[in-house]
């Protein structure tokens, strides 16, 4: 949940795109089960990507479908790029001194791939 919560703090306009979260206070968001559920779906997507990392066709199909679904939700293409940095910001503290520049680059590259494929599905 901290990924979404910090995203809303740094990019308040994003919160208004998520209709269930529009106009909610920080206190309401902290308790919001829909927000927690979306954060868990993001984590599930990351897990699915890693499980398919050696199956590029399956990975691309899954992310393409996810991008197409986000069009139906009226998600803005530009917002897709915001999730990777927020994800990294959320997980970095949990790894402490095990966090390295190489690890950050790997996570960043994964989210660039996710964003690229999803955005392709959203604009075509």
- Give the CATH number for residue 117: 1.10.490.10
How many independent structural domains does the chain possess? 1
Distance in angstroms (rounded) separating the CA atoms of residues 65 and 94: 31
User: What are the DSSP E strand ranges found in 11-103?
Assistant: none
Distance in angstroms (rounded) separating the CA atoms of residues 50 and 115: 15
86 close to 7: Cβ distance less than 8 angstroms: yes
pLDDT at 59: 97
CA distances from 123 to 1, 62, 69, 73, 78 (A): 28, 16, 12, 14, 11
pLDDT at 5: 52
Of 67, 68, 106, nearest in space to 87 by CA: 106
pLDDT tens by residue, the chain, 124 residues: 455 556 656 656 655 555 566 666 667 666 667 777 777 888 999 999 999 999 999 999 999 999 999 988 878 888 888 888 888 888 898 999 999 999 999 999 999 999 999 999 999 7
Domain ranges, residue 50: 2-123
pTM comes to 0.75
Which token pair is 67? 């991008």
75 close to 67: Cβ distance less than 8 angstroms: no
């Amino acid at each position: 949940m901290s990924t979404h919560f910090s995203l809303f703090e740094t990019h308040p306009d994003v919160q208004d795109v998520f209709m269930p979260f529009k106009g909610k206070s920080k206190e309401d968001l902290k308790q919001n089960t829909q927000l927690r559920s979306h954060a868990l779906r993001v984590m599930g997507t990351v897990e699915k990507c890693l499980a398919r990392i050696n199956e590029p066709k399956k990975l691309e199909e899954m992310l393409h479908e996810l991008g197409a679904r986000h069009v139906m939700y009226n998600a803005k293409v530009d917002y897709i790029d915001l999730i990777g940095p927020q994800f990294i910001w959320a997980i970095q503290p949990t790894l402490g001194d095990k966090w390295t520049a190489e690890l950050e680059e790997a996570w960043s590259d994964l989210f660039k791939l996710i964003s690229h494929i999803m955005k392709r599905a959203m604009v075509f």
